[in-house]
Amino acid sequence: MAEESPAAAGGLFESLKTLAGSLVGIVHTRLELLSTDIAAERAHLTALLVLGLFALFCLGVGVVLLAILIAVTFWESHRLAALGGLTAFFLIAGAGLAWLAMHKARNKPRLFEASLAELSKDRQQLGSEP
């Protein structure tokens, strides 16, 4: 019996060591996934920001040149109507784009969605239901 206790104790400690190793492995994997998600999101946002700024610059220059062209074309006959129409168009377009941007900001996908799904699976496998 004295020989069975140390063996049983060694088995318990080995089980605890294996469990701790598994938990550390799970946490390590999830942290790697989280860091990958963060890096991908940062790269995606940086690319979107740069492209968006260049697009806004080019569109802004184009819109200003178009407005000048239209105003100069109608300068002798209907300059106030041309300027009023351009002003109304740009105000309506700006309001519509502002609404679209706010709509997209409200309906964005969850950040770290894949990481949260994996952590939820881990919690369910470990038996602690939310």
Give 62-91 pLDDT, tens digit per residue: 888 888 888 888 888 888 888 888 888 888
In a domain, 9, yes or no: yes
Instruction: Tell me how far apart the alpha carbons of residues 91 and 83 are, in angstroms, rounded to a whole number.
Output: 12
Q: How far apart are CA 14 and CA 106, in angstroms?
A: 50
CB atoms within 10 A of CB 40: 11
Q: Provide the domain limits for residue 63.
A: 4-125
In a domain, 130, yes or no: no
Average pLDDT, rounded, for the chain: 80
Query: Residue 97: inside a domain, yes or no?
Result: yes
pTM above 0.75, yes or no: no
Residue 67 lies in a domain: yes
Query: Domain for residue 86, yes or no?
Result: yes
Does 29 map to a domain?
A: yes
Q: Count of domains in the chain? A: 1
Q: Which residues contact 26 (CB under 8 A, 6 or more apart)?
A: 122
> Which residue's structure tokens are 């949260």?
116
